Amino acid sequence: MNDTPGWASPGSAPSDGQEPGTSGPDRPADRPESEQPADQSGPQPQDSGPTWSKEQPPPAQWSAPTGPAAPEQTPPPPPPGPGWGSHPPAGPGGHGGYAGPGGYGSWSGGWGGPPPAAKPGVIPLRPLGVGEILDGAVSTMRAYWRTVLGIALTVAVLTEIVVVLLQGFFLNDRIDTDALNDPSATFSELSRAMGDAMLSYGVISVISLIGTIVATALLTTVTSRAVLGKSVTIGEAWTDARPQIARLFGLIFLLVLIAFGIVAVGVLPGILVAASGAGEAGAALTALGSLCAIVVAIWLMLRFSLASPALMLEKQSIVKSMSRSVKLVRGSWWRIFGIQLLAMLIASILASIIAIPFAFLADAFSGDSGSGLLDSSGDLGWTYLIVSGIGSVIGSMITFPISAGVTVLLYIDQRIRREALDLELARAAGVQGYGPDTPGS
């Protein structure tokens, strides 16, 4: 190979189709050495074949090519087709790719937005919307209906037995709401009848609330496993919940005590005013105090609404589970209130669809015993109570799983939003890319 500076001179590159060092009619190497030009910058002979350019680079400025020839030009990639909204392939954290698990806002430059979240179970592992929470509760009931309906049936039967016995032995004799249907009743009589009706409704509501909390606690294990795509039997759910049962009832007792304390504080001034002789003023003050107390009780109970799943899943004490609920609800009170209210309305509508036919059936079996319910007299016979109670049990079998599922999924959703629980759930479910060796874990 010729290593002289003239190797890379114009017109002698390997792209001419000749190998380096070969001679050709147009190459200066064919000429005898004595006839080679002594100085390339000087005048060139006119009769020696092809001539050099007058403007040549100085010696030792150009070097022979040592690298491979330039690669062939490849045609540009075709333009994106109709499916160009798909995600470009990229490794974790790569440009235009998904920057690690849980990085929902880490998609940089992707064509179609972040990739879908993992969904090993009934919900996707990311912050949830209202529809996804409701759908997750229903999907849990459909996928694991044997376990869910078994637990709901047990709690509903026990709850309804308490309600029927309480109405039959206590409320029928102590509650008088006849004044509500008497046009000539005085204001004090109407207030007393209204108070009795609220007492009856309040007692039944508290019992139903206890049943709902118990069902939520027992169904917490089922729902948490359903999020991971794993099933659980009634025995496994009971084994998991049994160590926390005592604390659960302590939590229920404390919540009921707080609710009754708030209501008592609200109605106490009106009772004292009525006892002093101002009956109408006392009744009005009692009604106003009751309304304010109900509002405060609802606000406070909602702040503690996630205490039950926190108690069961985190194995916390009563006070710590209530504190956890307050922390998770803080800043999202109205959102949780709206979702819980929507779930309650849906559950109430479903329960009414089932309970109303049983109420008419109970009225037909018991003669006019059911007229007490229609005219608000509160005098209900045993036949009516038992037949209508069967309808309530069937309705509770459907409403308990929905209410419990929504509460548990709200708890999980709040922890995903604030504590990145989705990463832990994905690892527990065995989703690829979420292991302990994943970058950013």
How does residue 9 score in pLDDT terms, banded at 50, 70 and 90?
very low
pLDDT at 413: 96
Grade residue 62 by pLDDT with cuts at 50, 70 and 90: very low
- pLDDT tens string 278-332: 767 777 888 888 889 989 999 999 999 999 999 999 988 999 999 999 999 999 9
Query: Per-residue confidence at 85, pLDDT binned at 50, 70, 90?
Result: very low
Cα first-last separation, the chain: 58
From residue 67, give the alpha-carbon distance in Å to each of 142, 156, 202, 291: 68, 83, 90, 89
| Percent of the chain surpassing pLDDT 70 | 64
**CB environment 393-418: b (16+ within 10 A), e (fewer):** bbbbbbbbbbbbbbbbbbbbbbbbbe
Identify the band that residue 25 occupies on the pLDDT scale cut at 50, 70 and 90: very low
Helices 318-329 and 382-419, packing angle to 10 deg: 70
Q: Locate tokens 């406070």: which residue?
A: 300
Please provide the DSSP assignment of 250-268 as one string.
HHHHHHHHHHHHHHHHHHH
pLDDT surpassing 60 at residue 7: no
pLDDT digits (tens, 9 = 90+) for 330-340: 999 999 999 99
pLDDT (0 to 100) of residue 284: 82
The tokens describing 66, both together, are 């040592």
Name which residue leads in pLDDT, 394 or 378: 394
Distance CA 221, CA 215 (A): 11
- 427: Cα separation from own chain's centroid: 17
Q: How confident is the model at residue 57 (pLDDT cuts 50, 70, 90)?
A: low
Provide the pLDDT confidence category of residue 199 given band limits of 50, 70 and 90: confident
Considering Cα of 141, then 146, then 151, then 155, what sign does the dihedral take? positive
Q: Helices 318-329 & 307-314, crossing angle to 10 degrees?
A: 120
Query: Mean pLDDT throughout 225-240?
Result: 89
Name the pLDDT band for 100 (thresholds 50, 70, 90): very low
Query: What pLDDT, in 10s, does the model give residues 141-167?
Result: 999 999 999 999 998 999 889 888 888
Instruction: Please name the residues in contact with 101: beta carbons below 8 A apart, sequence gap of 6 or more.
Output: 423, 426, 433, 434, 438, 440, 441
Give helix 318-329 / helix 245-275 axis angle, nearest 10°.
80
Share of the chain above pLDDT 90, in %: 27
Taking the CA atoms of the chain, what radius of gyration do you get in angstroms?
41
- At 307 the pLDDT is 92
